[in-house]
Amino acid sequence: MAFQAVITVAPAGVVAPVVYALLALMAGAASVGHVWQARERRGRLRLGWSVAVAASGMWSLANLLWFLDPSSRPDSGVLSPASYLATASGVLAPTALLLCSPAEGRLASRLRRMIDGATIAAALALLGWQLVLRQIFPGIHADTRAAVIAVLAGELVAGAYAVVVIARARPSEGNSIALWASALGTLSLFTVLDAANAALGDDRFSNGVGGGYLAATLLLVACCRTPLPSVSGRAEGEQPGPLRALPYLPIGLAFTTAAHQQIAEGRVDALSFWVLLSMAVLVFLRQFLQLRTIEMLIEKVEAQRRDLAHQATHDPLTGLGNRTALAERATALFDGETTRHVGVLMLDLDGFKPINDTHGHSAGDKVLRAVADRLRAQLRLDDLAVRLGGDEFVILLADVRDQAHAAEIGERILRSLRAPLDLGPAAVPVLASAGLAVGATSDTSFEDLLHRADASLYTAKDSGKNVLRMAELYRAGHDGVGLAGR
């Protein structure tokens, strides 16, 4: 602002050379700083900062040529090499910013970013039309009108992208990207004002343009001395940046200017109407996409919750239930109002350690998974098979008629396990010893049944293995420690 005040009182012919010289020096310093930033990065980021070196260097060279040759300056009406350099710089700068900005991994995030940029570009176009271009457009020569529109459209797109980047800036990323985006947005704004000065016949650097160009180039220099963004992305639990609401500003101002035209003139011109309609459609698409993203996040959280619940109650190797699932099912059976006869069948594989020692632990895991599959095939609807750990399993028989019925189920399960299993070099039989205890839920506890089934299992092991041993049926007033062999 202070520099712009000096411009208004400086002698004619002095302001432009000073501005061009300062712009050339500062842009050159920014280019050197970008070289340092490029050296600190690899891959895509190095490419981005290298493009930034070229963009700043071209901007510096363009201003140097304008400083040295007044006849080649933009206000002379001649398209000189310096003008082409400045245009190329304007194309490369947003390209470099795009390459250096943190990438969005998911398609939905990229789509939201694109829609945000398109909406902001439309808002900036409407602002530029309402505040500047609508007044100066008739004064632009027909031969250069298309070129002016193309340049201004490019600047609006660059400015829109700059707003998106600034709004997404995060504290953990440092300020280099945000400063660079601010510089790009400032350059875009004052390029539009520069075109307005040209159309109105004013001096190029009047109406704040000279100070704006210098401020934007100074921001380029400043971004070279600030920390680079983190490659790892957003830190866990980090909140969005403090300027996340920035995109709403140009959108709100665009609607405000259109409303002002409607109030002042009784109508909105056709261009403004169609831009407003386009913005409304984009905002609707953005909200629809946001809603869909929220739905997908909810589905993902629900899936993760189900996975965690499954992991909490299931054995990861075999997919059978674990101790937690056994305790929950037993509580439901024994705390219920209905009296049932429940059987607890404990299984321990015979000769499992030699299989591990001979064929390796992967073969042992294969045996355990095969046992789990065979157990599942024999379960009734309300039964539960659980792996306690190692090669020990428990089957909770939820409803049996009597001991004989439970023993019949136990023998059938043992027979299903005895089929040989192919382990590659050889097929090995899968043998198991079993202990069974049966009791009524009103007369005993699950812990007591589990204890008696375990005792029966040890009896089966001592009896030569590969057999079922059953504890006597528990009755109220009887200790039930006697064992019956089968």
Please give the Cα distance from 159 to 444 (Å, whole number): 78
Angle of helix 352-359 relative to helix 361-378, nearest 10 degrees?
Answer: 140
The pLDDT tens digits for 348-368 are: 999 888 888 888 888 899 999
Specify the pLDDT at position 316: 92
Pick out the chain residues at pLDDT < 50: 1, 231-239, 476-486
CB 318 within 8 A of CB 389: no
Please give the Cα distance from 83 to 62 (Å, whole number): 7
The pLDDT tens digits for 218-274 are: 888 887 776 655 544 444 344 455 667 778 888 888 889 889 888 988 888 888 899
CA atoms within 13 A on the CB side of 44: 9
Specify the pLDDT at position 195: 74
Specify the pLDDT at position 11: 58
Specify the pLDDT at position 132: 72
| Helix/strand/coil for 61 | helix
Specify the pLDDT at position 482: 38
Using DSSP bridges, classify how beta strands 431-440 and 468-471 pair: parallel, antiparallel or unpaired. Answer: parallel
CB 331 within 8 A of CB 323: no
Please give the Cα distance from 152 to 172 (Å, whole number): 34
DSSP, res 59: H
DSSP labels for 415-479?
HHHTS-EE-SS-EE--EEEEEEEEEETTT--HHHHHHHHHHHHHHHHHTTSS-EEEEPPP-TT--
Specify the pLDDT at position 231: 46
- Residues counted in the chain: 486
Start-to-end C-alpha separation, the chain: 101
Cα distances from 14 to residues 11, 80, 178, 215, 217, in angstroms, run 6, 21, 33, 19, 20
| Helix/strand/coil for 482 | coil
CB 93 within 8 A of CB 161: no
Which residues have C-beta within 8 Å of that of residue 239, sequence separation ≥ 6? none
Specify the pLDDT at position 371: 94
Matching residue, tokens 């705390």: 335
Which residues have C-beta within 8 Å of that of residue 343, sequence separation ≥ 6? 395, 396, 397, 400, 406, 409, 410, 436, 437, 438, 449
Residue percentage of the chain with pLDDT more than 90: 27
Please give the Cα distance from 313 to 337 (Å, whole number): 25
Residue 304 tokens read as 């993760």
